Amino acid sequence: MASLGFLFFFLLPLILLELSSSRSVMAAKTRHFKWNVEYIHWSPDGEESVVMGINGQFPGPTIRANTGDTVAVHLTNKLHTEGVVIHWHGIRQIGTPWADGTAAISQCAINPGETFLYRFKVDKAGTYFYHGHYGMQRSAGLYGSLIVEVGEGEKEPFHYDGEFNLLLSDWWHKGSHEQEVDLSSNPLRWIGEPQTLLINGRGQYNCSLAAQFSKPPLSLCKLRGGEQYAPEILRVRPNKIYRLRVASTTALASLSLAIGGHKMVVVEADGNYVQPFSVQDMDIYSGESYSVLFKTDQDPTKNYWISINVRGREPKTPQGLTLLNYLPNSASKFPTSPPPIAPLWNDYNHSKSFSNKIFALMGSPKPPPQNHRRIILLNTQNKIDGYTKWAINNVSLVLPTTPYLGSIRYGINAFDAKPPPDNFPKDYDVLKQAPNSNSTYGNGVYLLKFNTTIDIILQNANALAKDVSEIHPWHLHGHDFWVLGYGEGKFSEKDVKNFNLKNPPLRNTAVIFPFGWTALRFVTDNPGVWAFHCHIEPHLHMGMGVVFAEGVHLVKKIPKEALACGLTGKMLMSNKHN
């Protein structure tokens, strides 16, 4: 097991460095990529499916760049009948809001046969990823990793000898288009739990790498070389420190990650350094990313399991597994111990304990002491004309045909003029079923004053069924926010005194637990129009999101390709002036 001495080993350089590092002495680069998005036949878990790939591969290519670099992706839509966009998850798009990759918010969908240039700067080192943000194309497999290294001449505030990158996802054998129809049906046809959990796009369906430990026994996978679903083995040498970058692009599943016999020390969350802390296992919700360090200090004659398990939903999906292979052992030498035992799926105290250990690294930016505006967002499951939807403050989001960015910038009335409410009725009981479950559709925008401090309270509530409240991971585009705290039940003014203003972590994704609330704070310093939504794909599809606009009058030179869709888009293009 990792020792306290190991923790101190890299805590010491953190204390000494205090985030001070020499500035880059090398000029930043522009990194060009040419991508074709298309449907391909693939076997993510041993069962052939049609998946969305990039340049004939799944998951898409990993982008690696350095802080200060410009990434230029020439994206061509090779799909025959549908548009496409890609969101660069965690990249703030400062000065390039049209490159955020949100259909109907920051840009028009890229039509079949068309090419769009995503050109943006990566301004902060960290672990990120990208994914489709049109319809449910993330569920179809449109995703990949995006790693930003520190600039030349700069140093990370911790030491490691090597690194690995794990992109976690879930997989259904039913296609995403059929899932969309199911979710839009009356009555609702829920998509169900995924068939497989994937690690770097690889999983095993209807068999188990750990078959000898299964009760009842399962068939053992035949791990033939070159298979698209054969696990990606992590090969390590004894007595080294490794960085494990982990990001979750799951469509539904919240996950628990563990490495058999090894402690993990968390050092980064969503591209921001955190005070290191040690765990046996860690929760990771859709949209989150982490870096952990682990030391290969176990018996070097053995190999060990790396496992992911479902959290927050009754697990009906087998755990995902791969191997930590201690060289020179053969990778075919299976571990002698079973995979790590996951926490109970509904042990929320375990999950909350992990979240409450995450604090910003000493020397990180602190939040402003006061807010200028507070918006409380009530998450509810509702009915509209018999259809099951999710709503925020009783409004279920539907997007307009013309992107908000262009329509606000050029004064085109393409969405509801009335903004959504900043709060919900004071007498609403979040612990009980709503007496009236009916909701309405809407596409109004929260207009935020530029360069002000905004507090968001995410308030969870009872769903349609009695005593049911779900985990929701919320992701904010264009910003990082400070997580000021979590609470049980209904948020009230007395909870403000318990906000953490000393060392709250900076994140771009935060979870709200069942029947609880989460408090966030951010500064409106990035001109643009930004989505804020639950990162669970079916929940967003069913209306669980809002839109923020700030300083849009400051946005210049929006590419025409990002604007010209919908009738109002054509009007806008005929009168466009920059």
DSSP letter (8 states) at residue 107:
B
Check residue 3 and give its pLDDT: 43
Instruction: Tell whether 111 and 72 lie within a shared domain.
Output: yes
DSSP letter (8 states) at residue 173:
S
Q: How far apart are the C-alpha atoms of 306 and 323, rounded to whole Å?
A: 6
Check residue 476 and give its pLDDT: 98
Give domain status of residue 8, yes or no: no
Instruction: Tell whether 491 and 380 lie within a shared domain.
Output: yes
Strand-pair partners of 439: none
Instruction: Tell whether 342 and 403 lie within a shared domain.
Output: no
Give domain status of residue 1, yes or no: no
Q: How far apart are the C-alpha atoms of 542 and 398, rounded to whole Å?
A: 9
Give domain status of residue 6, yes or no: no
Neighbours of 19 (CB within 10 A): 11
Q: How far apart are the C-alpha atoms of 292 and 269, rounded to whole Å?
A: 9
DSSP letter (8 states) at residue 363:
T
Q: How far apart are the C-alpha atoms of 299 and 322, rounded to whole Å?
A: 18
Instruction: Tell whether 131 and 64 lie within a shared domain.
Output: yes
Q: How far apart are the C-alpha atoms of 574 and 555, rounded to whole Å?
A: 19
DSSP letter (8 states) at residue 232:
-
- Tell me which of 360, 390, 424 is where a domain ends: 360
Instruction: Tell whether 389 and 339 lie within a shared domain.
Output: no
Instruction: Tell whether 377 and 356 lie within a shared domain.
Output: no
Give domain status of residue 267, yes or no: yes
Q: How far apart are the C-alpha atoms of 538 and 540, rounded to whole Å?
A: 6
Strand-pair partners of 359: none
Instruction: Tell whether 79 and 186 lie within a shared domain.
Output: no
Give Cβ neighbours of residue 15 (< 8 Å, ≥ 6 apart): 362
- Tell me which of 120, 149, 178 is where a domain ends: 149
Q: How far apart are the C-alpha atoms of 354 and 534, rounded to whole Å?
A: 20
> Is 366 in contact with 502 (CB distance < 8 Å)?
yes
pTM across the whole model? 0.93
Q: Where are the beta strands (DSSP E) in 172-253?
A: 196-199, 234-236, 241-248
Give Cβ neighbours of residue 403 (< 8 Å, ≥ 6 apart): 103, 104, 105, 106, 107, 108, 529, 562, 563, 565, 569
Helices of type H across 518-576: 537-541, 566-574
Q: Token match 């129809």: residue?
A: 181
Instruction: Tell whether 353 and 452 lie within a shared domain.
Output: no
Q: What is each CA distance from 195 to 204, 205, 218, 319, in whole angstroms?
A: 9, 7, 15, 10
Q: Token match 């809407």: residue?
A: 442
Report the DSSP pairing between strands 63-66 and 49-54: unpaired
DSSP letter (8 states) at residue 440:
E
- Tell me which of 296, 325, 360 is where a domain ends: 360
Instruction: Tell whether 215 and 193 lie within a shared domain.
Output: yes
First-to-final CA distance of the chain: 60
Give domain status of residue 489, yes or no: yes
- What is the strand order of the sheet 143-149 is part of? 63-66, 143-149, 126-132, 86-89
Check residue 23 and give its pLDDT: 40
Give domain status of residue 288, yes or no: yes
Span 1-47, pLDDT tens digits: 444 444 444 444 443 343 333 344 357 899 999 999 999 999 999 99
Instruction: Tell whether 403 and 521 lie within a shared domain.
Output: yes
Q: How far apart are the C-alpha atoms of 309 and 321, rounded to whole Å?
A: 9
pLDDT tens, residue order, the chain (578 aa): 444 444 444 444 443 343 333 344 357 899 999 999 999 999 999 999 999 999 999 999 999 999 999 999 999 999 999 999 999 999 999 999 999 999 999 999 999 999 999 999 999 999 999 999 999 999 999 999 999 999 988 999 999 999 999 999 999 999 999 999 999 999 999 999 999 999 999 999 987 777 666 655 555 565 555 689 989 999 999 999 999 999 999 999 999 999 999 999 999 999 999 999 999 999 999 999 999 999 999 999 999 999 999 999 998 999 999 999 999 999 989 899 999 999 999 999 999 999 999 999 999 999 999 999 999 999 999 999 999 999 999 999 999 999 999 999 999 888 999 999 999 999 999 999 999 999 999 999 999 999 999 999 999 999 999 999 999 999 999 999 999 999 999 999 999 999 999 999 999 999 999 999 999 999 999 999 999 999 999 999 999 999 999 999 999 989 988 987 865 566 665 665 44
Give domain status of residue 330, yes or no: yes
Provide the Cα torsion 226, 321, 90, 569; round to 10°.
60
DSSP letter (8 states) at residue 229:
T
Give domain status of residue 5, yes or no: no
Nearest to 294 by CA among 238, 338, 352: 238
Check residue 4 and give its pLDDT: 41
Q: How many helices (H) and strands (E) does the chain have?
A: 6, 32
Q: Which domain holds residue 66?
A: 30-149
Check residue 377 and give its pLDDT: 98
Check residue 566 and give its pLDDT: 66
What's the 3-state SS for 132-162? ECCCCCCCCCCEEEEEEECCCCCCCCCCCCE
Instruction: Tell whether 343 and 380 lie within a shared domain.
Output: no
Nearest to 164 by CA among 54, 81, 272, 247: 247
Q: How far apart are the C-alpha atoms of 422 and 457, rounded to whole Å?
A: 10
> Is 306 in contact with 276 (CB distance < 8 Å)?
no
Q: What is each CA distance from 199 to 260, 272, 365, 494, 523, in whole angstroms?
A: 16, 23, 33, 43, 35
Nearest to 105 by CA among 565, 518, 441, 573: 565
Check residue 203 and give its pLDDT: 94
Instruction: Tell whether 268 and 230 lie within a shared domain.
Output: yes
Q: How far apart are the C-alpha atoms of 311 and 296, rounded to whole Å?
A: 27
Supply the CATH number for residue 499's domain. Answer: 2.60.40.420
Q: DSSP letters of 375-400? A: EEEEEEEEEETTEEEEEETTEEE---
Q: What is the tally of structural domains in the chain?
A: 3
Q: How far apart are the C-alpha atoms of 407 and 570, rounded to whole Å?
A: 11
Span 383-423, pLDDT tens digits: 999 999 999 999 999 999 999 999 999 998 889 999 999 99
